[in-house]
Amino acid sequence: MKRGSWKIRIFIGLAIVGFALIQRCNNKEENPYTGRVQNINMTSEQEIAIGLQSAPEIAQQHGGLYPDERLQSFVDYIGKKLVDNSIARETPYKYDFHLLADDQTINAFALPGGQVFITYALFSQLNEAQLAGVLGHEIGHVIGRHSAERIADSQFWQTVTMGATVGADAGGIVSSIGQNTLLTNGRGDELESDDLGVLFMINSHYDPNEMIEVMKILKAAAGPNRVPEFQSTHPDPENRIEKIREAIAKYGG
Ligand SMILES: [Zn+2]
């Protein structure tokens, strides 16, 4: 390689990293519902669109929707109650609660913009208050804009990695930092959602201590049915239970 070319490479690499950093600073905004400053590079409308677009495929991956309309509308009813009695009502998001037919995988999750899912395998283990806790936690992910934050993070790290690869061939190192950052945010996401879930339970007059029971149920779900939310990248249940107790005390449940 010629002597001059590595300088150009480093210059271009630094320019790309600089661009990523400037873009990241410009993308900072305060979440009006949680008060937390986040890096987000999409609008609420875009979040809703992504959620609606991905929902059918996600449902299909879990054997489609549960066929019993009565159970389906019960999940809807509890979800709507939580939204109507909380700050979730004031957000631009469109909430839909789906009971998935999957009776093997114990899981619940939310897409950006308000599409919330719970598998029958988890649903069938919960009482009404515990179901409210799970759905409240998922509404927390929506209001916390966690997916949008992760997307902004991964785009940032992609650009930085590209810059580093061009400049110094250090892409591997940077991308591993990026991974860790994503996982750290994941822990924060879960704790914030637990906190909001407790608040929403109290808002709808459910006993927030049932959220602790949910943690125990999820913890007991070991083996191949283990909840993805509870795999190594997430805070351990004991830590979550401790934080849930703090939230209950904070919100006066
Ligand atoms: Zn979660």
> How far apart are the CA of 130 and the centre of ligand 1, in A?
14
> How far apart are the CA of 69 and the centre of ligand 1, in A?
26
Residue 182 confidence (pLDDT): 39
- How far apart are the C-alpha atoms of 167 and 171, rounded to whole Å? 9
> How far apart are the CA of 163 and the centre of ligand 1, in A?
32
> How far apart are the CA of 140 and the centre of ligand 1, in A?
8
> How far apart are the CA of 25 and the centre of ligand 1, in A?
27
> How far apart are the CA of 148 and the centre of ligand 1, in A?
14
Which residues are within 5 Å of ligand 1 (an ion), measured at CB?
Answer: 190, 193, 229
> How far apart are the CA of 3 and the centre of ligand 1, in A?
51
- How far apart are the C-alpha atoms of 236 and 194, rounded to whole Å? 13
> How far apart are the CA of 21 and the centre of ligand 1, in A?
28
Residue 179 confidence (pLDDT): 44
Report pTM.
0.82
> How far apart are the CA of 189 and the centre of ligand 1, in A?
7
Residue 253 confidence (pLDDT): 67
Residue 250 confidence (pLDDT): 94
Residue 219 confidence (pLDDT): 81
Residue 213 confidence (pLDDT): 95
- Of 1, 4, 18, the closest CA to residue 164 belongs to 18
- How far apart are the C-alpha atoms of 193 and 196, rounded to whole Å? 5
Region of 252 (left: φ > 0; alpha: ψ -120 to 50; beta: rest) is left
- Between the alpha carbon of residue 184 and those of residues 153, 179, 188, the distances in Å are 11, 9, 7
> How far apart are the CA of 190 and the centre of ligand 1, in A?
5
- How far apart are the C-alpha atoms of 226 and 221, rounded to whole Å? 5
Residue 138 confidence (pLDDT): 94
> How far apart are the CA of 191 and the centre of ligand 1, in A?
8
- Of 199, 206, 204, 152, the closest CA to residue 178 belongs to 152
pLDDT block averages, 10 residues each, the chain of length 253: 72 83 83 92 90 89 94 97 97 96 90 94 96 96 90 78 67 48 62 95 97 89 56 66 95 81
